[in-house]
Chain A
Amino acid sequence: MDESSLVIKLWAAGTLVALLFVSLIVMLSAMLRKRAIAHQLERENWKLQLEKTAVAARLEERDLLVDEFSREIHDNIGQLATMVRMHLQVLEKQVTDAAQQKTINGGMTFANALMDSIQHISYSMDGSYIHEEGLFNAIGWQVDQIRSSHAIDIRLESPGMDMPLNAQQALVVYRIAQEAISNTLSHSGASELVIRLQYTDREFTMDVTDDGKGFDPAITKSGKVGIRNMEHRARILGGKLEVKSRVDAGTNIRLTVPLENNTEE
Chain B
Amino acid sequence: MMDEYVILNGIGILTMVIAIMCGIIRVRDMDYGGRLILLLLIAGLLTEILAAWAGKYLGNNMPVYAVFNIVEVVLVSLFFNECVDAFKRENIGKVIAVLAVLAGVANLIWLQSIDKSNNNFMISGGAYIVVVSIIAMVDDARQGKGGNLLHYRLNIVLLFYWAVSLLTWFFYDDSDQLSKHDVWCVMMAVHLLNWLTNMFFATVFFFTPKQKHYG
Contact = CB atoms under 8 A, between A and B. Distances in A.
B163 interface: yes
Interface residues of A, number: 26
B44 interface: no
Q: Which 5 A-B pairs have the closest CB atoms?
A: A36-B144, A33-B141, A32-B141, A37-B144, A4-B179
Nearest to B179: A4
Interface in A15-52: 15, 18-19, 21-22, 25-26, 29-30, 32-33, 35-37, 39-41
Given A4-B179, A8-B185, A14 B141 contact: no
Contacts of B189: 15
A8 B144 contact: no
A123 B152 CA distance: 61
Candidate in A3, A19, A33, A37 with the most chain B CB atoms within 10 angstroms: A33
A25 B158 CA distance: 13
B137 interface: yes
Contact of A36 (B141, B156, B185): B141
A261 interface: no
Interface in A66-121: none
A15 B175 CA distance: 16
A27 to B, nearest CB: 11
A11 B179 contact: no
SS class, residues of chain A in contact with chain B: helix
B63 to A, nearest CB: 26
A151 interface: no
A35 B166 CA distance: 31
Contacts of B159: 22, 25-26
A150 to B, nearest CB: 48
Contacts of A4: 177-179, 182
Contacts of B142: 32-33, 36
Contacts of B95: none
A33 B177 contact: no
B138 interface: yes
A39 to B, nearest CB: 7
B171 A22 contact: no
A26 B161 CA distance: 13
B211 interface: no
A37 B145 contact: yes
A21 B141 contact: no
5 contacts: A8-B186, A19-B163, A22-B163, A26-B137, A36-B143
B164 A30 contact: no
B99 interface: no
B180 to A, nearest CB: 9
Given A29-B141, A32-B138, A36-B144, A15 B167 contact: yes
Nearest to A38: B144
B170 A14 contact: yes
B143 A7 contact: no
B161 to A, nearest CB: 9
Interface string B51-94: 00000000000000000000000000000000000000000000
A5 B182 contact: yes
A65 interface: no
Contacts of B174: 3, 7
B123 interface: no
B171 A11 contact: yes
A41 B152 CA distance: 20
Interface in A191-250: none
B160 interface: yes
Given A25-B159, A26-B137, A36-B144, 15 more contacts: A4-B178, A11-B168, A11-B186, A15-B167, A22-B164, A25-B134, A29-B152, A32-B138, A33-B140, A36-B142, A36-B143, A36-B145, A37-B145, A40-B144, A40-B145
